[in-house]
Chain A
Amino acid sequence: MTGTIPLQYFLIISTLMFFTGIYGFLTRKNLITMLMSIELILNSVNINFVAFNRYLYPDNLHGHFFSLIVIAVAAAEAAVAIAIIINIYRNFRSIDVDKVDEMKF
């Protein structure tokens, strides 16, 4: 297995993606951007799955399957989330997350 990329590299890149996603989710005010941040988080997890699968159990494909499931769920989630965002836009004439705070005390 010489000449391959070490596991740490995958982990570093996925960690960076994960926290970029978290940062974006917590700071962006635009709902679409927040949705993209969530996709980043999910993809960082996918990288982890695939990387660990390759290094720990090279003969199995479970990690790949998980990644595929996550991608499918992410696609569905994106569809639902965009539908919600469109409805929010119709109600509030804005997709600014700070304006959507009706559900409070």
Chain B
Amino acid sequence: MIDYTYTLLIPLIPFVVFLFTGLAGHKMKPMTSGLIGTTGLFAVTILSYLTAIRYFWTDHVEGAGYSSLKAFEIQWLHLTEKLTINLGVLLDPISVMMLVVVSTVSFMVHIYSLGYMKGDTGFARFYAFLSLFTFAMLGLVLATNIFQMYIFWELVGVSSFLLIGFYYEKPSAVAASKKAFIVTRFADLGFLIGILMLSFMTDTFDFQTLVSPTGPAMAQAGGAAFLGLSGITWALIFVFMGGAGKSAMFPLHIWLPDAMEGPTPVSALIHAATMVVAGVYLVARLFPVYSMVAPDALHVVAWVGGISSLFAAIIACTQTDIKRVLAYSTMSQIGYMMLALGVSGYGGHDGLGFMAGNFHLFTHAMFKALLFLGAGAIIHAVHSNDMRDMGGLRKYLPITHITFLIACLTIAGLPPLSGFFSKDEILVAAFHSNMPLFIIEFAVAGLTAFYMFRLYYSIFWGKDTHYHHTPHEAPATMTIPLLILAFGAVFSGFLPFHELVTSDGLPFEAHIEYAVAIPSVLIGILGIVIATLMYRKVSTSPAKLANGFGSFYTWAYHKFYMDEVYLFMTKKVIFNYISRPVAWFDRHIVDGFMNLIAHVIERSAYLIKGFQSGRIQQYGYVFVSGTIVLVIIFVYLW
């Protein structure tokens, strides 16, 4: 077996950097802590790439397929003989792929933030949190068992919370961070229930045991039924609930748009490229279990993904805050990935969806991080988030313009950019297994192209807005990551994912199916053309179109009133009919019982406290009369 123990350093370096910059950051110059964080991440990136190259190519025996291996494992908690919790490093195709994604994007964001966050009062704190997040995300990716994953899952949630609320003087940022934390925490409750059910049924937390075709999970296929689904199906649906919360799937998506209150590099790192795909990663991690024992749970995954992607794409067409458009676009693309996993089968060419979902995760991380970092450069130049304040920026921001255009073309799925390959594989997988979902995704492909180019034209073309001071191109620390990510967005599509990341570790033949690819490219182009006609020059057609859709447009503009539904559910229903009776019970029954005991004791204390009068002669009376009584009893009555 080849030694990969050094991979332990990959999560540990950011952790050490976090401790160092977090504890000593305020004593250093801000830029020093930024450079320490960036250097640490550079080392992590090098190690991750080294691991990926070794795992996929140099150490790989030709034709043997990729197996999962534990590079390192220690027992962390020994609860009982059967129940132990380990910490370790698991390497398999998807975790190695995620290592590359996380370290690349995180490294780019670290460099970018040197420019973007320059002069900010919380500079050192920002870098400490970024390191904490990177540590947590890498720990999640490399988890050997589902419980370790859960621990890091929560750590990721905490660092997301900290970074969304980074500008804690702003009430909206505080509200957004709380919202993100509470919603994902609620979803994690489902995840925890799922973990407990799953480990109860299989007697293991370990991923390798769980997913092995002869493992205990596979023996649960039938199992006890509840509402027509077997126990393990319910467990996996609960696990997926956690994934859906983290990945902002309908209806647990409401936190993601608000999370854009955080600094833009954070949105790029956490809320576009890495953390939000944790749900996809989770499903992919347990994919053999989903696929072999609980196909019903997989249908849930597919439909939730499909509905989310359509839902978010429609909303994205109406929003005007550029980061919100990108947030909904993220949600839509993650919906694609979920759907791809949901429609996939196991093994060989049936596992096309699995491969496509992970492929899209990879390419999406590149181009969505690029889009967010580009948006950050635009916001940096214009000091506004609203696309109505922008226009004609292509003259002022040439590099941002080019990279942003590349990212838009990639997400629209035009060949030969990477988005085309991954999205095409997803559509092919859907086409072969689920027609309604294919139609939804086909429509979403068009909508995606439309809203991305609506965004693009509104920012860089459209009206020539007059700015208070001339916008200028971002510094090199910000443009270099843009160029690198643009490179990734263009060329990552040529990676042979069907040989590297497959559901059973064995390569299979994948080729472009023109029957699907050509229409999907055409609808992408159609979306671009419509957006060009409407938004390239200032025109009245957008308003006309909005009016044409009437109340549907209003609904989409208000995000289908999901926030209001949640507010109604929490404030009016849950608070009134659950929280209030529970609070009443607590205050009056539980507290009342305690108060009763205290009251009784206090009353009886009042009754007897006169004995302690402090008068020695009274004590004497009592003593003498007591003695007399005792003498009478013992001498005469006994």
**A residues lining the B interface (CB < 8 Å):** 22, 25-27, 97-98, 100-105
Contact = CB atoms under 8 A, between A and B. Distances in A.
Nearest to A103: B614
Given A26-B624, A100-B616, A104-B614, 4 more contacts: A22-B624, A25-B617, A103-B614, A104-B615
B624 A101 contact: no
A22 B624 CA distance: 8
B259 to A, nearest CB: 61
Contacts of B610: 105
A98 B612 CA distance: 14
B620 interface: yes
A102 B614 contact: yes
A26 B610 CA distance: 18
Contact of A101 (B609, B613, B621): B613
Contacts of A25: 617, 620
Contacts of A101: 613-615
Contacts of A27: 617
A66 B85 CA distance: 76
Given A26-B624, A105-B609, A97 B617 contact: yes
Nearest to B612: A105
Interface pairs A-B: 5 shortest CB-CB: A104-B614, A101-B614, A105-B612, A105-B609, A103-B614
B623 to A, nearest CB: 10
A18 to B, nearest CB: 11
Nearest to A100: B616
Contact of A26 (B612, B614, B617): B617
Give the bracket for the number of chain B residues in contact with chain A: 10 to 19
A102 B613 CA distance: 9
B317 to A, nearest CB: 78
A101 B610 CA distance: 12
A24 to B, nearest CB: 11
B396 to A, nearest CB: 83
Interface in B584-619: 609-610, 612-617
Interface in B348-403: none
A44 to B, nearest CB: 14
B624 A97 contact: no
Name the residue in A22, A102, A103, A105 with the highest tally of chain B Cβ atoms < 10 Å from its Cβ. Answer: A105
A98 B615 contact: yes
Contact of A97 (B609, B612, B616): B616
Interface in B85-140: none
A42 B344 CA distance: 104
A37 to B, nearest CB: 10
Contacts of A26: 617, 620-621, 624
Contacts of B609: 105
23 contacts: A22-B624, A25-B617, A25-B620, A26-B617, A26-B620, A26-B621, A27-B617, A97-B616, A97-B617, A98-B615, A98-B617, A100-B616, A101-B613, A101-B614, A101-B615, A102-B614, A103-B614, A104-B613, A104-B614, A104-B615, A105-B609, A105-B610, A105-B613
Nearest to B616: A97
A101 B612 CA distance: 10
Most central of A22, A26, A27 by chain B CB within 10 Å: A26
A100 B612 CA distance: 13
A70 B236 CA distance: 89
A105 B618 CA distance: 14
Nearest to B609: A105
B269 to A, nearest CB: 66
B621 A97 contact: no
Contacts of B624: 22, 26
Nearest to A22: B624
A25 B612 CA distance: 19
Nearest to A98: B615
Nearest to B625: A26
Interface string B33-49: 00000000000000000
Nearest to B610: A105
Contacts of A97: 615-617
Contacts of A103: 614
Contacts of A105: 609-610, 612-614
A25 B613 CA distance: 17
A16 B182 CA distance: 85
B626 to A, nearest CB: 13
A100 B616 CA distance: 8
Nearest to A31: B616
A100 B615 CA distance: 7
A25 B624 CA distance: 11
Contacts of B620: 25-26
Nearest to A29: B617
A25 B615 CA distance: 12
A13 B267 CA distance: 104
Contacts of B614: 100-105
B339 to A, nearest CB: 76
Contacts of B615: 97-98, 101, 104
Contacts of A98: 615, 617
B621 A104 contact: no
A26 B619 CA distance: 9
Contacts of A100: 614, 616
A18 B356 CA distance: 108
B605 to A, nearest CB: 9
A100 B613 CA distance: 11
A27 B624 CA distance: 13
B610 to A, nearest CB: 8
Interface string B195-227: 000000000000000000000000000000000
A9 to B, nearest CB: 23
A104 B610 CA distance: 9
A32 to B, nearest CB: 14
A28 B617 CA distance: 9
Nearest to B624: A22
A30 B615 CA distance: 13
A102 B615 CA distance: 8
B604 to A, nearest CB: 14
Contacts of B612: 104-105
A104 B609 CA distance: 9
Contacts of A104: 612-615
Nearest to A101: B614
A73 to B, nearest CB: 20
